[in-house]
Amino acid sequence: MTSLFGTSGIRGSAKELLTNQFCFDIGRSFAKFLSKYNQRGKIAVGMDPRASSARIKTAFSIGLQKENYRVIDEGIAPVPAMNYILIADPSFAGSCMITGSHIRTDHNGMKFFAFKEEILKKQEREIKKIYESVKGRVRFKPRRLKLEKSEKAIEAYKEMLLGIANPPYPKWKVVLDFGNGCQSKALPKVFKKLNIQTFIINNSLRPGDLMARDTDAVESGGAFLDKLQWKVKKEGADFGIAFDVDGDRGVFIDEKGKFVPGDYTGTLISKYSETKVIVAPINVSQVVETIGKPVIRTKVGSPYVVGAMKKYGATFGFELNGGGVSAEIMMSRDLGSVTIKMLNLLKKRGGSLSELVKTLPKFFIYRVKVNCPPRFNSLILKKVRKRYKGIKVEEIDGLKIWLSKAAWILFRPSANAPEFRVFAETKTEEKAEKLAKEGINFVKSLIK
């Protein structure tokens, strides 16, 4: 196996990759990794409401127990809560979230936390090495598993969010769209305590209702947000927020029902935060360079953002998908804290969300993707290099070709799924769309 971890954690087919034996072996591997660093104590395990999550959690937990770790079942919980429990309760040695995030519902995955933060890429490599030494050595044996159940992760997470809030807020109306995912366990109670009038949609936790919402894809402005945009306008709400399944990223909708890209909310928080350096992946809009702070670019994926924040002393970093990392809270992606920070910013600045967004220069990113077997990736990048000429080329993650000072196109193979993505940014929406579609058509011709 050449690639075990993707941009953030392990992801793949629930049936083909995440078998009981694989999950058992990964459980043993994570336990051995923690033991190597003398991290003794309990291990918290949470999950999203996917149909396969409970089975995966069981097999993974049996692997942890095989290595003599006490496992605490946190049930359905947001990803950031599974990190924050390590900060709130030092008796936990580590934690894991069983989630496929935005990927198709018949796939799933795992995210790992240790040392009070999301594990870094070098630690993923260590776990992979341990896995290769233990896989298949002990046969997985199905058994009825009784785990200690708790909601301490969610309770600690809610208290943290309330702690960074700055009430009282204006008499806002807010629509919360949870995508039938994990934040429906936390945010409604937080907003109630903040005395903000809320309208809640898509808060079912039935596996069949789960919405595999990709918050950095162009379709996020379409079908998956139609209901939220309609609800914001119907209720005369001040804004709406759409969360992804596991609750660590998402996007805002302004009072006019208009989609606000995640890189704009991230840039606004960066502008008014105390961070002297901003960290953002290569696919984030150039709007972040316009606010006068140095920007460190990384590969796509929250572990890369976290690693660069630690290296350069940044206190805030963010991704195109709307997920932000706040060093003063925890070193992993969390839309919950981004939400509270946006509430605080809107209160401080006054006015509407659309007016706040208009304080930034306007750029347009168009994003498209196509199913692509990984064997084509190197060929595509080689052909792209020959076809596209620009004033500058960046190779941080894929190929980003600057066609002018304000226009670029990025060709990037996905590390989470057999997909190839093309991003284009220009000063007009029409040009960005045309550039991205030309790029993806070129990719399609090479796959054929």
Residue range 346-404, pLDDT digits in tens: 999 999 999 999 999 999 999 999 999 999 999 999 999 999 999 999 999 999 999 99
Residue 278 sits at the vertex; the CA angle it makes with 337 and 89, to the nearest 5 degrees, is 40
Torsion angle (degrees, nearest 10) of CA 300, 440, 109, 123: -30
**Whole-number pLDDT of residue 145:** 87
Residue 281: CB atoms within 10 Å: 25
Question: Do 185 and 290 reside in the same domain of the chain?
Answer: yes
Is position 414 within any domain?
yes
Q: Which of 120, 151, 182 is the last residue of a domain?
A: 151
Mean pLDDT of 397-413: 97
How many Å apart are CA 269 and CA 222, to the nearest integer? 25
CB-based contact 415:7 (threshold 8 Å): yes
Question: In this structure, what CATH number is given to the domain that contains residue 84?
Answer: 3.40.120.10
Question: Do 249 and 342 reside in the same domain of the chain?
Answer: yes
- Total count of domains within the chain: 3
**Whole-number pLDDT of residue 1:** 43
Mean pLDDT of 265-274: 97
Is 90 exceeded by the pLDDT of residue 214?
no
256 Cβ neighbours under 8 A, 6+ residues apart: 233, 354
CB-based contact 363:287 (threshold 8 Å): yes
Average pLDDT, the chain: 94
Is 80 exceeded by the pLDDT of residue 104?
yes
Alpha carbon distances (Å) from 408 to 218, 263, 351, 405, 439: 17, 16, 33, 8, 11
Looking from the CA of 367 toward its CB, the CA atoms found within 13 Å total 21
pLDDT-based confidence at 221, cuts 50/70/90? very low
Question: Do 180 and 249 reside in the same domain of the chain?
Answer: yes
Q: Which of 125, 151, 177 is the last residue of a domain?
A: 151
Question: Do 353 and 410 reside in the same domain of the chain?
Answer: no
Is position 353 within any domain?
yes
Tell me the per-residue pLDDT of 20-43, one tens digit each, with 9 for 90 and over: 999 999 999 999 999 999 999 999
Is 90 exceeded by the pLDDT of residue 3?
no
Is position 321 within any domain?
yes
CB-based contact 80:337 (threshold 8 Å): yes
**Whole-number pLDDT of residue 395:** 96
Print the domain residue range for 433: 364-447
How many Å apart are CA 281 and CA 318, to the nearest integer? 8
Question: Do 184 and 318 reside in the same domain of the chain?
Answer: yes
CB-based contact 257:230 (threshold 8 Å): yes
Per the document, the length of the chain is 448
Is 50 exceeded by the pLDDT of residue 61?
yes
Q: Which of 123, 151, 179 is the last residue of a domain?
A: 151
* Structure-model confidence comparison of residues 208 and 86, the more confident one: 86
355 Cβ neighbours under 8 A, 6+ residues apart: none
Per-residue tokens: 223:
């079908």
Is 80 exceeded by the pLDDT of residue 144?
yes
DSSP state letters, 257-303: S-EE-HHHHHHHHHHHSS-SSEEEETTS-GGGGGGSS-EEEE-SSHH
Is position 156 within any domain?
no
306 Cβ neighbours under 8 A, 6+ residues apart: 117, 118, 120, 317, 325, 331, 332
Tell me the per-residue pLDDT of 276-332, one tens digit each, with 9 for 90 and over: 999 999 999 999 999 999 999 999 999 999 999 999 999 999 999 999 999 999 999
